[in-house]
Amino acid sequence: MLRITKEADYGIVLLAVMAEHEAGEIHTAREVAERSGLPLPMVSKIMRSLARGEVLTSHRGVTGGYSLDRSPGKTTVAEVIRAIDGPISMVQCGVEPGACEREPVCPTRINWARISREVERALERIPISEMLTPEDRMELLRIGDDPSPPSETN
């Protein structure tokens, strides 16, 4: 089974908590941990990763903390995953060339690379703002579906 890591999932949750407030507002890891219900050590680690990945801005000093670099509509799920987990790839050889001894003769390597690119493209099309939308107000996104609304034929 392919999964997003717990840390990347929580990263999206943390951005959702921060997005409930004014743009540019500074949030401490402790505040975000309390509002999200997640453990402070994990929140601190994730927020540092998001800052290194330029999804958040880190502010030093007594009144320091973190702020959103840009609106949730301009930050994608792919950016969050890359900031926390690194490159997006379905197989190890897509991230670390040479990691597999079969790589030079692997008949599926090129197709896994193609699949990885398509998954990454799909994640690039989903802004964090869409992750904040309550499920009952949102149509399910199906990969490969035509994003245009269906035409009526009556």
Kindly state the average pLDDT of the residues 8-29. 92
Domain annotation covers residue 42: yes
Residue 138 clears pLDDT 80, i.e. is over it: no
Domain annotation covers residue 94: yes
Domain annotation covers residue 28: yes
Domain annotation covers residue 45: yes
Domain annotation covers residue 26: yes
Domain annotation covers residue 145: no
Kindly state the average pLDDT of the residues 130-152. 56
Residue 21 clears pLDDT 60, i.e. is over it: yes
Q: Which amino acid is at 15?
A: L
**pTM of the entire predicted model:** 0.80
Q: Which amino acid is at 124?
A: E
What is the rounded average pLDDT for all residues in the chain?
A: 85
- Identify the CA nearest to 120 among candidates 11, 2, 15: 2
43-87: pLDDT as tens digits = 999 999 999 999 999 999 888 999 997 888 999 999 999 999 999
Which domain covers residue 13, as residue numbers?
A: 6-134
Give the CATH number for residue 109.
1.10.10.10
State the pLDDT at residue 113.
87
Domain annotation covers residue 147: no
Q: Which amino acid is at 119?
A: V
Distance CA 71, CA 130 (A): 12
Number of domains in the chain: 1
Distance CA 20, CA 81 (A): 21
State the pLDDT at residue 142.
52
| Cα separations in angstroms, 18 against 6, 21, 105, 114, 115 | 18, 6, 47, 34, 32
Q: Which amino acid is at 2?
A: L
Domain annotation covers residue 63: yes
What number of other Cβ atoms are within 10 A of residue 151's Cβ?
Answer: 5
100-136: pLDDT as tens digits = 888 888 898 889 889 999 999 999 999 998 888 665 4
